[in-house]
Amino acid sequence: MSASSSTPTLLATVQELPSIDRLLHHEAFTALQARYGHRQVVQQTRAHVQHLREQALQGVLPLQQVQPEPLAQAVQQRLQQQTRSRLQPIFNLSGTVLHTNLGRALLPDDAVQAVARVMRQPVNLEFNMDAGTRGDRDDLIEPLIRELTGAEAVTVVNNNAAAVLLLLNTLSQGRETIVSRGELVEIGGAFRIPDIMHSAGAQLHEVGTTNRTHLHDYERALSEQTALLMKVHCSNYAIQGFTKSVSIQQVAALAHAHGLPAVEDLGSGTLVDLGQWGLPNEPTVRQSLAAGADLVSFSGDKLLGGPQAGLIVGSHELIAQIKRNPLKRALRVGKLTLAALEAVLQLYRQPETLHERLTTLRLFTRPLQAMQAQAERLLPALQHWCGEGYTVGIQPVRSQIGSGALPDEVLPSVGLRIGTLSGGRNGRALLQLEQRLRALPQPVIGRLHDNALWLDVRCLEPEFEAAFLAQLAEAQS
């Protein structure tokens, strides 16, 4: 060995590993136990010592690492990792505003506060304050729903899939529901109209063809077995070309002429005319009811901009029948959902300020100029963070509304386009970058597309911009 070589690292043998018992009595470990509890500390200490044992057996364990302090530090890291919430905030720069995998609608402050308020104290969830008797949780939002949609009554369940299930099970179990073939949609994952029908015990009677269904198709399908006529909003696809569908108005008139109810699954179910903000028009819940639908079902966390929930609104009598179904009890929502939903519905009473106060609508209507200016502020930090080999530029992009709402409709937006200097076949470099963004303390989700990684700034509200920039700067140093 030459004199110039550095001091060799001293290696530990298995015999030099401290016993778990001895470690737990060391002050560094008693501090950990005070914070995380005995059981978790023992668990993670065992796991870590086992890891060191394997290294020692391979002859690669530095002696220094078996000292109590570094050991405690390593165990603390494991504990931090273990106790971190698995449900963590991220930055959604994917360009899809209502992203089902990212939790759909963001709740406005009013709703966040309302939820916090009812979490800590008893509330009148099912308690009629006037009579001092048992109440009905749906009554909490019924007056609001009546005012905003013209419906007579409402019932709220876990999500719109549950709403459709409950509705069909109540009104069509063992009997037929007539639906146009062109409306037998699959809404991502496991929600398919035919499957839900089946689970609900309802018999599906498809009518018409994929692209065209006429009123006489419904008419011919009517029989003793018919329980219901149903329309389903083709949320996530559009049929173009030689098409024909029958309006809810016509379907409802036909149903009523035969003493049957007509229902519509509106999917997103917006409560207001989105056209007033230059957004594409969606049928509103009020319109569907006014056109004759006896019941309308829709999600709480799509265009409505509220918590995950499914609402069924419409005829008092049919809603009462639905509420008597034992499945309603299995699918009902809790006080947190109702608190958030009520607060969101309250915002709709003041349409003038809705685009400022309702988070989803605020995101849909962000001015292009503001997004352009924001992209310009973000660009230098992002370029610096990406490092050599990448180029960041600003380009117009189109955001999606998402969650099956308005599939064709896209909102002009501003994107940061990250490409590689080499251009060409750069898939690996882009994947690496995408992974680095996902590995940040608050992960950033972008979109790989057309030889580049795109970050659509629409959903980075100014309120969160500083945190976004700070984490890029920190990751850098």
Ligand X SMILES: *Cc1c(COP(=O)(O)O)cnc(C)c1O
Residues in contact with ligand X by CB under 6 A are 159-161, 164, 187, 191, 232-233, 235, 265, 267-268, 299, 310, 404
Provide, rounded to whole angstroms, the least separation between the CB of residue 128 and ligand X: 29
Provide, rounded to whole angstroms, the least separation between the CB of residue 160 and ligand X: 3
Instruction: Report the alpha-carbon distance of residue 69 to residue 49 in Å, rounded.
Output: 13
Query: Considering beta carbons, is residue 102 or 467 the nearer one to ligand X?
Result: 102
Q: In what order do the strands lie in the sheet with 390-402?
A: 96-98, 390-402, 405-420, 452-456, 447-449
Query: Considering beta carbons, is residue 194 or 389 the nearer one to ligand X?
Result: 194
Q: Which residues make beta-bridge pairs with 96?
A: 400
Cβ-contact 351, 271 below 8 angstroms: no
Provide, rounded to whole angstroms, the least separation between the CB of residue 310 and ligand X: 5
Residue nearest to ligand X (CB): 267
Instruction: Report the alpha-carbon distance of residue 373 to residue 362 in Å, rounded.
Output: 17
Return all residues near 76 (Cβ < 8 A) that are at least 6 apart.
32
Return all residues near 266 (Cβ < 8 A) that are at least 6 apart.
233, 283, 285, 288, 296, 297, 298
Nearest to 311 by CA among 350, 319, 103: 319
Cβ-contact 383, 392 below 8 angstroms: yes
Query: Considering beta carbons, is residue 234 or 452 the nearer one to ligand X?
Result: 234
Provide, rounded to whole angstroms, the least separation between the CB of residue 185 and ligand X: 6
Query: Considering beta carbons, is residue 261 or 402 the nearer one to ligand X?
Result: 402
Q: Is the dihedral of CA 439, 440, 446, 448 positive or negative?
A: negative
Provide, rounded to whole angstroms, the least separation between the CB of residue 192 and ligand X: 10
Provide, rounded to whole angstroms, the least separation between the CB of residue 188 and ligand X: 8
Provide, rounded to whole angstroms, the least separation between the CB of residue 316 and ligand X: 23
Cβ-contact 397, 415 below 8 angstroms: yes
Query: Considering beta carbons, is residue 33 or 100 the nearer one to ligand X?
Result: 100
Query: Considering beta carbons, is residue 183 or 386 the nearer one to ligand X?
Result: 183
Cβ-contact 155, 323 below 8 angstroms: yes
Query: Considering beta carbons, is residue 55 or 236 the nearer one to ligand X?
Result: 236
